[in-house]
Amino acid sequence: MTIVFALFLLTLLVVTALAIVRTKNLFIATMLLSIFSLLMAVNFFILDAADVALTEAAVGAGVTTVIFLSALRLTSQYERGSLASSRWIAVIVVVTTTVLLISGTINTPNLGDPNAPVHQHVAPFYLENTEALMGFPNVVTAVLSSFRGYDTLGEVFVVFIAAVGVMFILDARQGTGPEYELRVEKGLKHHLIPRAVGGLLIPFMLLFGLYVQFHGEYGPGGGFQAGAIVATAFILHAILEGERTALKAFSRNAQMALIIGGSTLYGAVGVVCMLKGGTFLDYSVLMEDPVTARQVGIIIIELGVGMAVCGALLSIFHSFAARKPVAQAK
C-alpha cells in the first residue's frame, strides 16, 4: 500500500513540475511551486526523513513561497512568451542527459537495500553511539549539531550572508525618488477571515516554534525549523497588520541583532571549547561530564541557529515587502 502511495506521489511531483514550467502566469507557477514543495515534504516523510520533511515544509513550502510572492509584487505577474532561441537545442540536451542519467543510475543499490554501502561504516556508528555519547535519541540532531557541527556553522553563515546580501542589493539608496520610499501598507486586518484565523494561529505558531526549538533533541526539530516557524508567525502578523505596525513590533535593528547575535553565539561556543582545551566545537570540554556538556553545547548552538534563521528570514521578507513597486514599462 505504501508503495502505491509513494509511486503516486512521485508521479504527482513530475506532473506538478511540468505544469510549473508550462504555465505563463507566474502567480500560478509560484502556487504550484508551493504545492511541489509540500509534495516533496510528504515524500521525505514516507522515506523516513522526519526532520527534513519538517524543514522542507516550513522553509520550502512556506517561506520560499512568501518571498517569491513578494518579488512578484515588485516585478510582473506574467511571463512573456518569448523563449530563448536555443529552445530545440535545450530539449535535445535535456533528453540526452535524462537518458544518460537513468542508465547511469541503473547499477545503484535498490531503494531501501540495507546492505547498500551507504548504510555501512559511518551511519551505524552514529546510530549505535549517539545514546552513549550524547544521551538523547534524535540522531539527526546529534549528527547535525555535533558530529558535523562545522557544516552547520557554515550553514548559519549562509543564512547570514543571504540576509546581508538582500539588504545590500535592495536597500540601495542611490538617489531620491518615489521607489525608494518605504511604502507603508495597511495590511489585511480589515478582512474578517484573515484577521480571525491569524489571531488564532499566530500565538500557536510562536508556541510551536519554541517547542520545536527546544525539543529538537527528542523529536524532529531543531534550530532551522524553529527559526522558520517563528519567522512565519511574524510574517503572518506583518501581512495582517501592515508594514508600519510590524516593523514597530519587530524593528530592522532587532532583526539584525538576532542575526548577528545568533551567528556570533554559535561561533563563541566553538571558541570557548577551544579555550578550554578541546578542538573547535568539541563541546565535551565545557563541563565535567562530557555527555551533559554536549547536551548543553548543543542547546546553545541550536538557539544560535534559531535566532539567526528567524532574524534572517524576517529581514529578507521585510526587504521585499517594504519596497514600493516601480511602474512597469510594457
Partner 1 sequence: MTLDAFLGHFNYWVFAILLMIGFYAVIAKGNLIKKLVGLSIFQSAVFLMYISMSKVEGGTAPILQAGAVDPIYSNPLPQVLILTAIVVGVATLSLGLAIVVRINERYGSIEERELLDAD
Partner 2 sequence: MDIESHLPILQVIIPLLFSPLVVLLQPRGLAWVATTAVCILSFAIAINMAILVLGGQTLEYELGGWQPPFGIALRIDAISSLLLLIVTGAATAAVLGCRESLNQQIESHRQPLFFAAWLLLLAGLVGMVVTADAFNIFVFMEISSLAGYILIAGGPDRRALLAVFKYLIMGTIGATFYLIGVGLVYMMTGTLNLDDMARLLPGVADQTTIPFAAAFITVGLALKAAMFPLHVWLPNAYTHAPHAVTVFMAACGTKVAVYVLLRFDFVVFQSADLYHGLQFSLFLMPFALLGIVVASAVAMFEGQIKRMLAFSSVAQVGYILLGASLLTQDGLTASFAHMFNHALAKSTLFLSIACLGMRFMDLRIDQLSGAAKSMPFTAAAFLIGGLSLIGVPGTAGFISKWLLIEALMEQGEQGLLMVGIVLLSSLMAVVYIWRTVEVLYFRTPVQQDTTQQGSEVVLSEAPALMVGVTLLMAALNIVFGVMPDVPLSLAEAAAEILSGARQ
Which residues, numbered 248-267, are part of the site for partner 2 (CB under 8 A)? 256, 259-260, 263-264, 267
Interaction of residue 142 with partner 2, rule CB under 8 A? no
Q: 78 forms bridges with which residues in the sheet?
A: 25
Q: Which does 159 bind (CB under 5 to 8 A by kind): partner 2, partner 1, none?
A: partner 1
Burial 189-221 (b: 16+ CB within 10 A, else e): beeeebeeebeebbeebbebbeebbbebbeebb
Candidate list 27, 45, 136, 147; residue touching partner 2; CB under 8 A: 147
Q: Shortest approach of partner 2 to residue 237 CB, angstroms? A: 25
Report residue 86: phi and psi, to 5°. Answer: -90, 35
Q: Shortest approach of partner 2 to residue 27 CB, angstroms? A: 21
> Residue 56 or 241: which CB sits closer to partner 1?
56
Segment (H or E) for 157 = helix 149-170
CB 315 within 8 A of CB 167: yes
Interaction of residue 199 with partner 2, rule CB under 8 A? no
Q: Shortest approach of partner 2 to residue 278 CB, angstroms? A: 6
Report residue 78: phi and psi, to 5°. Answer: -115, 145
CB 294 within 8 A of CB 146: yes
Considering only residues 271 to 330 of the shown chain, the ones binding partner 2 according to CB under 8 A are 271, 274-275, 277-284
Q: Shortest approach of partner 1 to residue 224 CB, angstroms? A: 6
Q: Report the C-alpha gap between 270 and 212 in whole angstroms.
A: 23
Report residue 282: phi and psi, to 5°. Answer: -90, 90
Q: Shortest approach of partner 2 to residue 297 CB, angstroms? A: 9
Interaction of residue 27 with partner 2, rule CB under 8 A? no
CB 213 within 8 A of CB 293: no
Q: Which amino acid is at 43?
A: N
Q: Shortest approach of partner 2 to residue 240 CB, angstroms? A: 30
Q: Shortest approach of partner 1 to residue 183 CB, angstroms? A: 14
CB 266 within 8 A of CB 117: no
Binding track over 63-102 against partner 2, x by CB under 8 A: -------------------------------------xx-
Q: Which does 232 bind (CB under 5 to 8 A by kind): partner 1, partner 2, none?
A: none
Q: Report the C-alpha gap between 213 and 211 in whole angstroms.
A: 5
Residues in the chain: 330
Q: Report the C-alpha gap between 200 and 16 in whole angstroms.
A: 32
Q: Report the C-alpha gap between 217 and 304 in whole angstroms.
A: 15
Q: Report the C-alpha gap between 286 and 292 in whole angstroms.
A: 9
Candidate list 91, 123, 200, 326; residue touching partner 2; CB under 8 A: 123
Q: Which does 270 bind (CB under 5 to 8 A by kind): partner 2, partner 1, none?
A: partner 2
Please tell me the count of residues contacting partner 2 according to CB under 8 A: 60
Interaction of residue 113 with partner 2, rule CB under 8 A? no
Q: Shortest approach of partner 2 to residue 325 CB, angstroms? A: 18
Q: 64-74 and 290-321 helices cross at what angle (nearest 10)? A: 20
Q: Which does 26 bind (CB under 5 to 8 A by kind): partner 1, partner 2, none?
A: partner 1
> Residue 237 or 323: which CB sits closer to partner 1?
323
Q: Report the C-alpha gap between 295 and 260 in whole angstroms.
A: 23
Q: Which does 120 bind (CB under 5 to 8 A by kind): partner 2, partner 1, none?
A: partner 2
